[in-house]
Amino acid sequence: METMVPVGDGGLWAEDSGGDGLPLVLVHPGVGDSTIWDQVLASLDGRYRVIRYDARGYGRSPAPTAAYSPAGDLAAVLDHFGLERAVLVASSMGGAASVSLTLDAPERVAGLALFVPTVTGYDGLDESDLYREVGRLAEAGDLEGIVRLGLGLWGLAGGGTPQADPVAAAHLRAVLPAWFGNVGYQEPDPPAFGRLGEIAVPTVLALGELDRPGLVRFNEETAARIPGCRLVRMAASDHYPMLREPEVVARLVEELYAEAR
């Protein structure tokens, strides 16, 4: 069932598979919208209640017109579907929102399955050069240049060019309007990196060994700070594990789900 979740003066497209039991809520990365979970869903559908949604400006969700918090929007999705608790399955940007919600409302999160996540409040990764280059390419109107840049940084498993990696390139190309349209509206959630030791739910963190070295180190540090976190190294994945190794992602989700129950 598809629906639009109201959030202030905006909305979030969401899809609920229906069913009973503890739900899985999928929270997508900034390098793709909710369709990036399609291959993983093929392994999960029919056996779990699965909810996924598009962040503001991504996929089928309208662009924001007022300030918003990613964790606040995630909480709004849980509220809309009447979920007291859920297992959060999240990647990159979605990981930051999920970790923040877990710290803000731990009673609502039964488990965390994190794939190449980011976390607010980490200062060991300087991406200022990346943002400057994206800005330069945007001013020149070179959107394909941004796609090539992104794939070169995050899409190493696919060769780093749109020609060598057409699926990841299509996901990245589709989210560029959200990257620019959300500027000035998306407010970062409070710093969470220094509070990771407070997380007390079953957690698995999977990093892509072909991801940027700085992100790999960051994921290692993140996992080390979360009590009892299981760290998994996905040898064939970069920043797109749902595309590179969907069966492994689905298996890790199922294992975490069994532990969360």
Buried residues in 158-193 as b, exposed as e (16+ CB within 10 A): bebebeebeebbebbbbbbebbebbeeebeebeebb
Average of pLDDT values for 202-208?
A: 98
Neighbouring CB atoms inside 10 A of 213's CB total: 8
Question: What is the set of domains in the chain, with CATH numbers?
Answer: 2-124+185-260 (3.40.50.1820), 128-181 (no CATH)
pLDDT of residue 89: 98
pLDDT of residue 126: 78
Buried residues in 145-154 as b, exposed as e (16+ CB within 10 A): ebbbbbbebb
Rg value, the chain, Cα: 17
Residue 183 confidence (pLDDT) above 80: yes
- Using CA atoms, how far residue 164 sits from 131, 156, 161, 167, 213, in Å, is 24, 10, 5, 9, 21
Report the SS3 class of residue 173. Answer: helix
Please say whether the beta carbons of 87 and 23 come within 8 A: yes
User: How far, in Å, CA of 241 to CA of 189, rounded?
Assistant: 25
Residue 261 confidence (pLDDT) above 80: no
Q: Which token pair is 146?
A: 């941004």
pLDDT of residue 187: 92
Between 127 and 51, name the one with better pLDDT: 51
pLDDT of residue 9: 84
pLDDT class of 228 with cuts at 50, 70, 90:
very high
Average of pLDDT values for 167-196?
A: 95
In the chain, the DSSP E strands lie at 2-7, 10-16, 24-27, 50-53, 86-91, 109-115, 203-208, 230-234
Report the SS3 class of residue 9. Answer: coil
Q: Which token pair is 224?
A: 């080390």
Which tens digits make up the pLDDT trace of 55-111?
999 999 999 999 999 999 999 999 999 999 999 999 999 999 999 999 999 999 999
Residue 125 confidence (pLDDT) above 90: no
Which tens digits make up the pLDDT trace of 4-55?
999 988 999 999 999 889 999 999 999 999 999 999 999 887 899 999 999 9
pLDDT of residue 223: 98
